[in-house]
Amino acid sequence: MPDDIQPFDRTAVRRHRDRAAAGWAAHDFLQVELADRLADRLDDIRRPFERVVDLSCRDGLLSRRLASRAGRGLFVQSDPSPAFTRRAAEGGRPALVADEDLLPFAAGSFDLVLSLLSLHWVNDLPGCLLQIRRCLRPDGLFLGAMLGGETLAALREAFLAAELETTGGAAPRVSPMADLRDAAGLLQRAGFALPVADLDTVEVSYPDPLALLRELRGMGETNALRERPRNALRRDTLMEALASYQQACALPDGRVRASFQVLWLAGWGPDDSQQKPLRPGSAQARLADALGGVERPADSPPSPGRSFE
């Protein structure tokens, strides 16, 4: 992709993850929480998955969490970060360095593709989803979670207002993120069968705003925009932003709240065995009968009581 249509510096994304790998255990709370929620979703699906790939393995958390589901089948781990893949490989399952913008897997390779908190850094999300669908076997499942557009909205607003106040302008510091409608549309566009998108909100608290910033650094989730400023943030801008965030998000005990919006994406590789929508006009029952109403032509005058048009 040309640089002018790549919002993210993927080298910076990888570098941030490499830096986070060393102290990951102190900052993996969101990954752990969402891994548990992902496992709960998989528990609702009563079928085995023999060939699995985790596209954002970090330290191998999903491999450990889903060990009973994967059994003795193939479980491949991948991550853009060499430091994380080395850690993931220590668990005994294969791990490789791979960028989500250019997946190295052959068509029909897996019957389960997982991605946890990684797709919001992808430059070509429609293309990435298309590649994921391509590497699924027929009737294989994709299940992923990514940060949505309302994540840390109050923190982003505080920094924007502070920079406008102290410098008279605003540098690129806020990553573009998909919303729920975008996510659902992209699943359909990529050709998934039975696509579903829904959202969770994870609410946490910190002793102060600086603790939140240290957490984001430890998670590898700091600014990786291609056009981000390379110079350090001015001290007066930082202090103004932190004070504003403290005022807006303070809790009764003096801590500050933070909200992470998580978009869940699910879709299946198309297969003839899957449910299909009925042909229009093929219904065998009338809605008016089911609801006890009176069906009236669209051009008839209104009448008292319940009617359906």
Instruction: Give me the chain's average pLDDT, please.
Output: 89
- For residues 259 and 73, give the distance between their C-alpha atoms in angstroms, rounded to a whole number: 37
Nearby residues of 302 by Cβ (< 8 Å), 6 or more positions away: none
3-state secondary structure of 9: coil
Whether the per-residue pLDDT at 219 is higher than 50: the answer is yes
Instruction: For residue 141, give both structure tokens.
Output: 């499942």
d(CA 242, CA 154): 11
Q: Is the pLDDT of residue 195 over 50?
A: yes
Residue with more model confidence, 4 or 114: 114
Highest mean pLDDT among 25-29, 72-76, 175-179: 25-29
Q: Does residue 307 have a pLDDT over 50?
A: no
> Which residue from 211, 194, 173 is spatially nearest to 265, judged by alpha carbons?
194
| pLDDT at residue 309, as a whole number | 42
Q: Picking from 29-33, 226-230, 268-272, which range would have the lowest pLDDT averaged per residue?
A: 226-230
85 vs 57: CA distance, rounded Å: 7
* Region of residue 58 (left: phi > 0; alpha: psi -120 to 50; beta: else): left
CA angle 244, 249, 250 (to 5 degrees): 100
Instruction: Kindly report the backbone phi and psi dihedral angles of residue 274, in degrees, each rounded to the nearest multiple of 5, phi listed first.
Output: -80, 160
Task: Report whether pLDDT(294) > 80.
Answer: no
Q: 266: which strand partners?
A: 143, 196
pTM, to two decimals: 0.86
Write down the pLDDT at residue 71: 59
Contact 257, 204 (CB under 8 A): yes
Strand partners, 237: none
pLDDT for res 300: 67
pLDDT confidence of residue 298? 65
For 234-246, b/e burial (b = at least 16 CB within 10 A) is: eeebbebbbebbb
For helices 125-134 and 180-189, angle between their N-to-C axes, nearest 10 degrees: 50
* Residue closest to 58 by CA, chosen among 148, 48, 72, 30: 30
pLDDT at 221 over 70: yes
Percent of the chain with pLDDT over 90: 74
Amino acid at 301: P
Residue 258 has a pLDDT of: 97
Residue pair 114/103 in contact (Cβ under 8 Å)? The answer is: no
The predicted pLDDT at position 152 comes to: 94
At 176, is the secondary structure helix, strand, or coil? coil
With a cut of 60, say whether residue 293 has pLDDT above it: yes
- pLDDT per residue over 34-84, tens digit each? 999 999 999 988 888 999 999 999 999 999 999 876 657 899 999 999 999
DSSP letters along 55-84, please? TT-TTTHHHHHTHHHHTTSEEEEEES-HHH
